[in-house]
Amino acid sequence: MTHNTDIVIIGAGPVGLFSVFEAGMLKMKAHVIDSLEVIGGQCSALYPEKPIYDIPAHPSILASELIEKLEEQAKPFDPVYHLNQQVQKLEKQKDGSFLVETSKGTKINCKAIIIAAGCGAFGPNRPPLDGLENYEGKSIFYSVRSKEEFRDKNVVIAGGGDSAVDWVLSLADIAKKVSVVHRRPKFRCAPDSSDKLNALAARGKIDLVIPYQLAGLEGDADQLTKVLVKDFDGGVKELEADYLLPFFGLAMELGPIANWGLGLDKSHITVENAATMQTSEAGIYAVGDIATYQNKLKLILTGFSEAASAAHDIFKIVHPDEVFHFEYSTSKGV
């Protein structure tokens, strides 16, 4: 069976889900493809309980709640989700439409494509520690599914970016002790988060282990008991640890997308015009973290705006004989 739709959206993360809504508001149907078993992208797979602070009208919202709201917002437009599969083949037809085929043999004819694949196929950057694999998924985790798992436990968090700092702030009142390992005093996070981190350290709520790097692991079977850290003079320090959370970013791979002949900049897709989000190939658009252009801001809210721009440009492809009259959602309704 071959499905027919207006738009295929590759990626069911927050920007992909909002793309469904924007398309629906313009009378366009969408099928969504994602390699994960659930919608939500990194928000579901890596940090469902992580608070997000830069979503308009939400001073703070959990990543899982954001995905629930976006799914609810898209639902009136009846999106079709093809999960746990990856786009393997893309063919442009003589009439300018596309035939998309997935790893499960799903075939979809569409008039345009929106790539909202986040950072593509992703996985964590693992620290080079002996015996690491023995503890992974048991007492070493690269994401947090449930904060309660760490209640009254000794937690070591390694890293200096937003993810590491956000989880320090979230677990400081739950864990028995949080030790933060970073190789330099300065953290690569929002200034407000850095101020909160230092305030917690000043009150003795967390232990800043700086400047140190991960050096070794000790434990029984698959349960950690200690994390060894080393300073730049070779001095070794032992940290009590029930859990280690290393947050050193994600390894990105575009996967089959890299072979589609699109303009690329390292692991990102370049867009020809940020006003439309169209790539070097007519009819294919890129939005969210996977898209790049001059002065790009990697924020979810930026991706939302890009999704709206792409949908409005696609309207003329899907409805070539209709004159577009912009209407505010307040007057148009859903």
pLDDT score of 267: 79
Divide the 334 residues of the chain into consecutive groups of 10 and give the mean pLDDT of each group: 95 96 97 90 81 92 95 97 91 94 95 88 81 92 87 97 90 96 92 93 95 96 94 95 90 74 86 94 95 93 97 96 76 74
pLDDT score of 318: 96
Inter-residue contact 33 to 85 (CB < 8 Å): yes
Instruction: Please state, in angstroms and rounded to a whole number, the distance separating the CA atoms of residues 153 and 155.
Output: 6
Residue 214: phi, psi to the nearest 5? Answer: -60, 135
Domain residue ranges of the chain, discontinuous segments joined by +: 2-122+250-332, 126-246
The residue type at 156? V
Q: Say how far residue 310 (Cα) sits from the centre of its chain.
A: 19
Helix pair 14-25, 300-318: axis angle to 10 deg: 40
Instruction: Please state, in angstroms and rounded to a whole number, the distance separating the CA atoms of residues 6 and 108.
Output: 10
- 2-122+250-332 has which fold? FAD/NAD(P)-binding domain (3.50.50)
Q: Say how far residue 328 (Cα) sits from the centre of its chain.
A: 29
Segment (H or E) for 3: strand 2-4
Instruction: Please state, in angstroms and rounded to a whole number, the distance separating the CA atoms of residues 68 and 66.
Output: 5
Q: Which of 154, 229, 164 is nearest to 194 (CA)?
A: 164
Same-fold call for 2-122+250-332 versus 126-246: yes
pLDDT score of 174: 95
Instruction: Quote the CATH superfamily of domain 126-246.
Output: FAD/NAD(P)-binding domain (3.50.50.60)
The partner residues of 188 in beta bridges, in order of sequence, read: 161
pLDDT score of 121: 59
Inter-residue contact 286 to 273 (CB < 8 Å): no
pLDDT score of 97: 96
